[in-house]
Structure 1
Amino acid sequence: MTVPATGAAGLKSATVQLSFEPGAFRCGRLAAEFADEWVELVAAARLREGAARSYLTAVKVLLAHVDATMPDAAAASLARGEPDLQRVVADWVRVLPSQRRPGSRTPGWHAGRVRALIARRMEHPGRSVAAGWQGWVDGAVGVRRGSSSELDEFSRADKKKLIRAALVARRATTARIRRGRALAAGGTDPERGGWLAVENLLWALWSDSGACEQIPDRLPPAAQFPAALHKLAPGGVWHSKRHLVQFLLAELFVTALDLHAYRILLMAATGRAPEEITGLTEDDLEFGPHGVTITFTKGRAQVRRRQTFTAESDEAGTLHPAGSRLDAAEIVAELLELNRPLARLAGISPVPLFLRVSRPGAALVARLLTRSRGYAFTDWLRLHGVTVSGPADIRRLRKSTKVEKAIAFRGRISDIADDHSEKTFRGHYAHGTTLRVIAGEVITAAQHRWLDTALAGPTVLDENAAQSLADPQTATVLGLDPAEVEALRSGQLNMGVTDCTDPFASPFGRPGQLCPVAPLRCLECRNAFVLPSNLPQLLLFAEHLQKLALRLTPTHFHTLWGQSRTNLDEVLSSRTAAELAEARRQIAEDGIVLVLPAATRVEFDA
């Protein structure tokens, strides 16, 4: 069956053949039933190579299990109750996890795909399915989905190294191809000018895709090449005609390794996922006077989004810019310029941005970037001498961009997850090391803030300390000037429960504003001074808190008054029994009452 190749968006000719032979299994009848559903599902859902192959793999794994464990496998069928196929399938689901590493997601995928095919057959009016399958399809699949180990983002240093290497590689690619095309423009038809002239060979490859087939037939053996051709070889000598043709193609067109640099730069410039970048074609680009608007397609989420990128121009008179800037409009325009001739030769329209030349057989073939051996991202890193910590996976670059976005938006998930869902951000991006470190720093800062608040209580002075306030040295130790000392001793700064050195510099209000929470929070304020004269009000305030503790829930009381009560208990415990008795006598004889704002007489537990 012919299906579109994975990642071949925009390439009408990029297809692969998937075959399935039911006769290769002992349970041929069952295999044919699954084959019918697989073929129709792939056609109806327009599945690409990866998805179509995943269903086929799951079916083959099940059929192999049926052949191995079912004596009468030839009679197995979804339409028959006997032999008992449901028992065999249930046993297959049970043993699936043991065939993979712990936590693998493959068992769940296999079981889910087989169940989807059976469910599809049950909906077909002309195909019978045994009655017992309905319960299995409606119930749980019977195996855990598993989990994947999420990739961490690239460090900032690694990302800089990647971008720097990609910029260098991009310049080298552009220079090489333009040099080769200029040389081809000076060539002529090899039939007239000769098959051993480099410019003529380049002219042939530039003009006709069939030249890939003709050149090896017209050239003599590599050992008989002239010195001019051998000088072009990386090692100084060509060992085969095939290697020469590959070299000449690379002088005219973009290769698979070249595309890695452009993918890195576009991902860094746009912040998009790898599949959104490599699937772009000229139809997804809309150039304007100030930049380009790109339509990104995310196949997994079936979402298309447009985003505009403004072209950056150097300021007038700037001879030495601060550094290389990532201009998405310039990068995509350059890719189009490089790939249009190759698309024309291969008859591909619209022109894909990530198109590369290859020669797997004897003809020129244009393909998208793949993970072929020797052309993978790891091979590009090795070629350019770039080392990164952790796995060499291009998807980590996308996560680095998401981390930078999270920092820029100060953790507002609605803004960070503007190109996917908030659930996706929490599941795939929020776990990154950088965000965890930042979150840890935020938590630590908050803990320090509350710890400082808890430890920053009032300054408590006993009778002797209060008398020594007149001593300039004592006042200096306490951080008081003579005017503040005099105001404390005369009662001018009395706030009710305590005295205050500066009611207009409250940590609970704006600078210059009279303290908005006095006297309720004086016992939690570092500006407060507790003098012996405050003891009667402190005792009354303790009674007030005791009443509140009886009326409010423990959680609510602790939230509102827990720190004040702790500090108050510490102050009262430092007083002698005689001092406390004298204070209670003053309350009784002088009729002292607690002075609090009227609003504090009512508490709402909400």
Structure 2
Amino acid sequence: MARYAGRFACRVLAAELADEWVLYCRTRVLRGPDRPARAVRSFVAFADAWLAERGIGPQPVRLAGGPADLTEIIYEWEHDLRRVHPSPSKRGYELASSLLALLEQRSVREGDLPPKLAARAQAPPLFRKPAEPPPLEEFSQAERLALRDAARRDIRAVERRLAAGRALLETGCDPRQGGWERVANLVWAVHQGLLKTTVLRAHLPTSPGRWPIEIRQVAGDAGPSWAPQALLAGLAAMVFPRELDLQPFRVLLLLAMDECTPEELLDLALDDVEFTDGGVRLAQTKHRAGRIRRRLHTGPVADTGEGAAFEGEGRWDVPGLLRRLFAITDPVRHAYPDVVGWLWVTVEPSGAGRARVRGRRAEFVLEGRRLTDWITRQCRPDGRALEITAPHDARRLRKTAKIARVVALGGTIADLAGDDHHVEVFRRHYAHGTTAHVLAGRAVTTAQQKVFASLTRPVFADEEAVAELTEPEVSAALGLDEDTAGAMRDGQLDMGLVNCRDPYASPHTPAGSVCHVAPAMCMLCRNAVVFPSHLPRLVLLAEHIDQMRSRLTPPQWQALWGRQAAALAQLFEECAAAMPDARRAAQEGRARLHFPLGMRTEYDR
């Protein structure tokens, strides 16, 4: 650690903390040692400045003791962290907690820290850990479709623009022989890497107003001072994709691949993409998890022929999108060997005053090239702006794809997490989405309705069950004892509409009192038992309920008769085989429906 400590004045202190850092990483098996390393560098640099201000020599300062009180330095350092990294930044808390963890490790292992410093090592940082920001919400279904359609329109427009640029390139030549006032010659020069803003200023009129009209159209509305830069960017965009042109591919791929993170997609190299007869296989590197996953994305089999593996097919699945992406980015890799190994490459002006164009990897983080910049530039087919809820974060695209998988597959969280996440990670970061909550609520409601229906719906006994009603097995299956079954068979428990297991145990009246709501509520009672001989009466009840539709307002009818109508419809569906005879008996007048006068005046007014 001598070379590491040599960068600081407090070399002994830096070396001791660096040793603790190495031991800490080995003990905890940390894949990413950056956080404790940053803490050590930040604290030792602060200690150097603190000691210099007070005229204290840095060499004798060490963890076991010295001319300076390290506890006081830590206290001042934490206050400085809070100033440099104000809330809601987590950086200050992370650095302070990492340094204290190293000191606590040294105190436990060696026991040679001063008591004051050892006590400080066991205490938490001075300031509280900032609250976690609210989790990102997925895009709604309407937003997902709007983003998908906008991305497809943009990809078609980019492909048309680049195709026109390539056709123009074929007609161009070296402007030093063919002239500088033809767009085709300027396109040829920018494709060959010969064009710079200094060259344009040297060979074109000083005033952009004197340029040929076709050249002014390429430069756009830029002012005189920025016209050469705008012209250079416009010429490059005619044959090479801009970084913003790659955003629609990114949007569609993230929506199509729920198991791929934005970081994994951005880090894809050419060697990570392997086209096969059945689709494309991607080697996705997840740095935070320290693993590489190989995923096969299938698509229609395409006979592209030998050597044509990267040709575009015009498809919108993952293999088709990647082939089209290769098609528009291949010219960049051919013109700029520095980026030949990467998938997401672009050509844009760079240098002082954007003096020339060069190829580079796309990062989608610079101003004007982010996802939000692409979204704000999109319009619907009718010309209206694309309205997408903020924040415009690429992680929301992944969450949207995850929720689409939830909708398609359903199941438990363990099934939905799959091999892409731990169950707890999926629960905290994906299962909280509004769509997932709505689906979960719908599932709970459906289950509750089934339970409630089983508790309130009548029991239907067919002809065979009625004939053997007093048999112990049959009566037990219907929830009856033998005495109740015998009384029901003899008609002693007929309530005028259906049979009742126990008129004194109605869920609609106080316990111990005879039921006074029969037959109005019989179809909503768990005590009701329906025989085939009762079906004609129930047909008449259904007709009566249907007549009430014309006499009552819809809210009144739904409140008074809606649930009974639904219960009758379900019962009729279950005993469909017996319904033709029941309807015939009702039509021929072989059944009568007797409503109590109180029921008619209460329900039919």
TM-score normalised to the size of structure 1?
0.63
Query: What is the aligned counterpart of 2:153 among 168, 172, 176?
Result: 168
Q: What SS is found at the alignment partner of 1:408?
A: helix
Q: What SS is found at the alignment partner of 1:297?
A: strand
Are residue 382 (structure 1) and residue 376 (structure 2) matched?
yes
Q: What SS is found at the alignment partner of 2:392?
A: coil
RMSD: 5.1
1:100 positional shift: 7.2
Q: 1:569 & 1:422 partners in 2: Cα distance?
A: 48
Q: 1:519 & 1:99 partners in 2: Cα distance?
A: 78
Q: 2:483 & 2:300 partners in 1: Cα distance?
A: 57
1:138 positional shift: 7.0
Are residue 285 (structure 1) and residue 273 (structure 2) matched?
yes
Q: What SS is found at the alignment partner of 2:319?
A: helix
* Structure 1 residue ranges without an equivalent (≥5): 1-19, 315-323, 459-478, 498-502, 504-513, 535-540, 543-564, 576-606
1:412 positional shift: 2.8
| Alignment correspondent of 2:54 | 72
Q: 1:136 & 1:36 partners in 2: Cα distance?
A: 16
The 10-residue stretch of structure 1 (259-268 or 339-348) with the greater mean CA deviation from structure 2: 339-348
Q: What SS is found at the alignment partner of 1:372?
A: coil
| Alignment correspondent of 1:243 | 230
Give the direction of change, closer, same or farther, for the CA distance of 1:313–1:574 in structure 2 (3 Å limit): same
Deviation per CA, 1:25-57: give whole Å up to 9, x if none: xxx64899399959x99xx99xxxx99699659
Count of matched residue pairs: 464
| Alignment correspondent of 2:580 | none
| Alignment correspondent of 1:426 | 427
Q: 1:130 & 1:213 partners in 2: Cα distance?
A: 64
Q: 2:399 & 2:44 partners in 1: Cα distance?
A: 37
Are residue 84 (structure 1) and residue 91 (structure 2) matched?
no
1:297 positional shift: 1.6
Query: What is the aligned counterpart of 1:227 among 187, 193, 213?
Result: 213
Query: What is the aligned counterpart of 1:312 among 300, 306, 324?
Result: 300
Give the direction of change, closer, same or farther, for the CA distance of 1:382–1:103 in structure 2 (3 Å limit): closer
Give the direction of change, closer, same or farther, for the CA distance of 1:183–1:88 in structure 2 (3 Å limit): same
8 Å contact kept, 2:50–2:73: no
Q: 2:181 & 2:322 partners in 1: Cα distance?
A: 36
Q: What amino acid sits opposite 1:447 in the alignment?
A: Q
User: How does 1:453-532 map onto structure 2 within 5 Å?
Assistant: 453-456=454-457, 492-494=468-470, 518-519=479-480
1:178 positional shift: 2.0
1:154 positional shift: 0.2
Q: 1:517 & 1:350 partners in 2: Cα distance?
A: 77
Q: What is the aligned-residue identity percentage? A: 25
Give the direction of change, closer, same or farther, for the CA distance of 1:57–1:198 in structure 2 (3 Å limit): farther
1:146 positional shift: 3.5
8 Å contact kept, 2:14–2:40: no
Are residue 258 (structure 1) and residue 258 (structure 2) matched?
no
| Alignment correspondent of 1:470 | none
Are residue 180 (structure 1) and residue 161 (structure 2) matched?
no
1:111 positional shift: 2.2
| Alignment correspondent of 2:524 | none
1:416 positional shift: 1.8
1:261 positional shift: 0.6
8 Å contact kept, 1:107–1:145: no
8 Å contact kept, 2:13–2:44: no
Q: 1:262 & 1:313 partners in 2: Cα distance?
A: 21
1:94 positional shift: 7.9
* Structure 2 residue ranges without an equivalent (≥5): 27-31, 303-313, 379-384, 495-500, 516-605
Q: 1:274 & 1:348 partners in 2: Cα distance?
A: 23
Are residue 446 (structure 1) and residue 430 (structure 2) matched?
no
| Alignment correspondent of 2:133 | 148
Q: 1:252 & 1:574 partners in 2: Cα distance?
A: 89
Q: 2:344 & 2:10 partners in 1: Cα distance?
A: 43
Give the direction of change, closer, same or farther, for the CA distance of 1:569–1:74 in structure 2 (3 Å limit): farther
1:352 positional shift: 1.9
Give the direction of change, closer, same or farther, for the CA distance of 1:344–1:78 in structure 2 (3 Å limit): farther
Give the direction of change, closer, same or farther, for the CA distance of 1:568–1:213 in structure 2 (3 Å limit): closer
| Alignment correspondent of 1:414 | 414
Deviation per CA, 1:291-315: give whole Å up to 9, x if none: 111111222222221111222379x
Q: 1:153 & 1:391 partners in 2: Cα distance?
A: 10
